Amino acid sequence: MRLWRQLELEWKVLLLAAGLFVAFAWPVQRFVITRLSETLFQSIDPDLETTLRAELADAEGGQRGALKEHIERYRQTRVLMPIVVKEQQRLLIALSIGLFMLFLLLALWVLKRLTRPLKDLARAVDRIGKGETAQVARVSEGALGIVEQAVVNLQEELVALREQARMQGMETAWKDIARVMAHEIKNPLTPIRLTLDRMEERSGSGRGVSNEDLTKFLTRINAQVDMLERLVDQFRSFSREPEVRLAAVDCAALLRTVADGMGRSLTTTIEGAATIQSDPYLLQQIFLNLLKNSLDAGADRVSAVIGTGVGAVTIALQDNGPGIPPAHLGRIWLPYVTFMKNGSGLGLAVVKQLVETLRGAVSLVSPPGQGVRITLTFPTDLTGEN
Amino acid sequence: MLENVADGFLGLFMFFAHWLSPGNDRGEIRIEAVRELKTRSVLECFISFEWNERMSDLIDAGIPMRFRILSYSDRGDSTLSIRTLFCDVGEYTYYISDSLIVPAIDSVYVSKEYRQIYRALREYRHVMRSFARSASYFQIEAVLLPSRVSHLNRSIDMSDICGCRRFATRVISKQRGK
């Protein structure tokens, strides 16, 4: 049954025709031949030879020869009848099979011609479904022509809709980028503007700015400029493929260094150790982004577990933050998508890009009430991996 | 998939073609005795084919049965003859004739008359040939020829009924020595 379903329409029709031929044509010809044989045999007088032989016993000379010929003719006719019928039957069967084969070829050709536009349409629809452009021309008349025209219209509409969606998507993306960038740039600019206003106010009022205050103001402005620089770096690192410089990296030590930089606001515990051949700078950026993300999300504790497997190292980071709602999990890796008040939407996107650059893998789970668990996997030797 | 279906059709066609084709299997000529003379060996053979009622009917209807018998060796002992079994329908008498074509053209031998077909058949199947003792091999081939049906102006192929058209045997000197 499965085989039958897989067969194309024209072959199904041909097989059915073959089945019908065997089922009906064969018994019919047998019936006809049998009837013909019976009729032919009934037409021969069974007593003819007896009569001829009786005459032969009394005949002489030329008459005797003629009677012998009659007997011979009678016998030959009688004995050859079944052979001739059999021959004709074979001829009929051969002719039937020949004609049937001819019919099969003709039917196959006609069916192929008939179904070709349908198959072309099916292929075209399949390509359209995959988002490719298909050449559909209206070449048929009647119902098939209407279907072809409908497919042509469908393709045109789809192309228009896709273009519209693409434009809308790009516009939305640009708007999002502009909004996030404006917000991120504005954040450090505000304190800079305020600091400069205060300095201007001090000098305008004649009070002057003491060296101590000047240092304080400059430090504050410097910090905000640093933040702007970091922001620019983040954008840059996201927009281009980072350069990989391989070195032996002690994962636990590197993670400890990054965690220490977070200060007392985030307590990080590390279990296990592993040394891999990778890029220490990129790994540092990955750890920094992840720990900062946990901190920004409201976590104050992160536990890291480093495990080793065959040719790979796994680093699992578990924080005690509020976690991510299941509805947001599908979009967390997208750039400029953030669910935090002051997030840039680039942290996890940058992490994903860097991990992939290091031929690693990253996954995130967030069971309700259990914070976020991020698992990083890196090859132990990136040189061998490459 | 479609190739399999095509193969199926081809197979069906081949089956029918085989079924419709006349029998051309190779039959056997049995060696019954070898007599060694001074310079020649005489071989008595038997053309082994199946006999049935239908063949009897054909012969009884005055349709002759004809074999072309060819024998040769590496010493040039070539013989070609046509052996015929026929029936005089009026007299119920059977005859066997041998028309020697090679080496003596139109040399015809007609047997004695037989009243029973089976007795005629026994002689008809027996073939006797002689060849030089120095020959390293000797080959006999018999081919059943189409028979003329005089009153219906056509011929029939008895090999369809007999099941075999060609009969052959080969004697090599080692085998003869045994």
Task: Let me know whether A287 and A324 are in one domain.
Answer: yes
Residues of B whose CB is below 8 A from A18? 9
What's chain A's average pLDDT? Answer: 83
Task: Let me know whether A82 and A20 are in one domain.
Answer: yes
- Interface membership of A68 toward B (CB under 8 Å): yes
- Interface membership of A48 toward B (CB under 8 Å): no
> Shortest Cα distance from B120 to chain A (angstroms)?
20
For residue B96, is pLDDT > 90?
A: yes
Higher pLDDT, B21 or A296: A296
Q: How, if at all, do strands A275-278 and B126-132 pair?
A: unpaired
Q: What does the radius of gyration of chain B's CA atoms come to, in whole angstroms?
A: 20
The helix (run of H) or strand (run of E) holding residue A225 is helix A211-239
Q: What is the pLDDT of residues A227-261, one digit of tens each?
A: 788 778 767 766 666 678 888 999 999 999 888 87
Residues of A whose CB is below 8 A from B6? none
Determine the Cα–Cα distance for residues B168 and B69; give it in Å rounded to an integer: 9
Task: Let me know whether A276 and A213 are in one domain.
Answer: no
Task: Let me know whether A205 and A274 are in one domain.
Answer: no
Minimum-distance CB partner of B156 among A56, A64, A80: A80
Distance of alpha carbon A352 from its chain centroid, rounded? Answer: 22
Question: Can you give the pLDDT at residue A336?
Answer: 66
Task: Let me know whether A371 and A258 are in one domain.
Answer: yes
Task: Let me know whether A281 and A219 are in one domain.
Answer: no
In a domain, A153, yes or no: no
In a domain, A148, yes or no: no
In a domain, A137, yes or no: no
For residue B24, is pLDDT > 70?
A: no
In a domain, A162, yes or no: no
User: Taking Cα atoms as reference points, which of B83, B68, B81, B71 lies closest to residue B132?
Assistant: B71
Task: Let me know whether A77 and A32 are in one domain.
Answer: yes
- Interface membership of B100 toward A (CB under 8 Å): no
CB atoms within 10 A of CB A196: 12
* pLDDT range class, residue A183, cuts 50, 70, 90: low
Residues of B whose CB is below 8 A from A6? 1
CATH number for the domain spanning A336: value is 3.30.565.10
Q: How far is CA A239 from CA A11, A290, A346, A358, B96, in A?
A: 56, 19, 11, 16, 108
Of A239, A261, A281, the last residue of a domain is A239
Asked whether the beta carbons of A385 and A244 are under 8 A apart, the reply is: no
Print the domain residue range for A331.
247-385
> Shortest Cα distance from B30 to chain A (angstroms)?
30
User: Taking Cα atoms as reference points, which of A363, A359, A362 lies closest to residue A380?
Assistant: A359
Nearest residue in A to B13, CA atom? A97
- Interface membership of B6 toward A (CB under 8 Å): no
CB contact under 8 A, A76 and B63: yes
In a domain, A112, yes or no: yes
- Interface membership of A99 toward B (CB under 8 Å): no
Q: What is the pLDDT of residues A42-76, one digit of tens each?
A: 888 888 888 988 888 888 888 888 998 899 999 99
Task: Let me know whether A228 and A349 are in one domain.
Answer: no
CB contact under 8 A, B2 and A56: no
For residue A302, is pLDDT > 90?
A: yes
Minimum-distance CB partner of B89 among A15, A64, A68: A68
B-contacting residues in A 100-159 (Cβ below 8 Å): 101, 104
Task: Let me know whether A117 and A11 are in one domain.
Answer: yes
For residue A219, is pLDDT > 90?
A: no
Minimum-distance CB partner of A72 among B54, B62, B160: B62
Question: Can you give the pLDDT at residue A106?
Answer: 87
What's chain B's average pLDDT? Answer: 83
Question: Can you give the pLDDT at residue A386?
Answer: 43
Minimum-distance CB partner of B152 among A15, A18, A80: A80
Determine the Cα–Cα distance for residues B22 and B25; give it in Å rounded to an integer: 9
The number of distinct structural domains making up chain A is 3
Segment among A103-117, A178-192, A358-372, B30-44 with least mean pLDDT? A178-192
Question: Can you give the pLDDT at residue B10?
Answer: 58
Of A239, A260, A278, the last residue of a domain is A239
Q: Which of A67, A76, A90 to mutate to test the interface with B (most CBs of B within 10 A)?
A: A76
- Interface membership of B172 toward A (CB under 8 Å): no
For residue A83, is pLDDT > 80?
A: yes
> ipTM score here?
0.75
Question: Can you give the pLDDT at residue B16?
Answer: 61
Task: Let me know whether A200 and A114 are in one domain.
Answer: no
- Interface membership of B149 toward A (CB under 8 Å): yes
Task: Let me know whether A323 and A210 are in one domain.
Answer: no
Question: Can you give the pLDDT at residue A265?
Answer: 79
Segment among A75-89, A222-236, B158-172 with least mean pLDDT? A222-236
CB contact under 8 A, B63 and A15: no
Question: Can you give the pLDDT at residue A37?
Answer: 85
Question: Can you give the pLDDT at residue A314?
Answer: 94
- Interface membership of A85 toward B (CB under 8 Å): no
Of A239, A270, A299, the last residue of a domain is A239
Question: Can you give the pLDDT at residue B177?
Answer: 46
Query: How is residue A210 written in tokens?
Result: 């003491």
Q: What is the pLDDT of residues B32-51, one digit of tens each?
A: 998 988 889 999 999 988 88
Measured between its terminal Cα atoms, the distance across chain B in Å is 58
- Interface membership of A300 toward B (CB under 8 Å): no
Burial B109-146 (b: 16+ CB within 10 A, else e): eeeeebeebeebbeebbebebbbeeebebbbbbbebbe
Question: Can you give the pLDDT at residue A374?
Answer: 94
In a domain, A180, yes or no: no
Task: Let me know whether A121 and A210 are in one domain.
Answer: no
> Shortest Cα distance from B29 to chain A (angstroms)?
27
Question: Can you give the pLDDT at residue B21?
Answer: 59
In a domain, A348, yes or no: yes
Query: How is residue A383 written in tokens?
Result: 């040189």
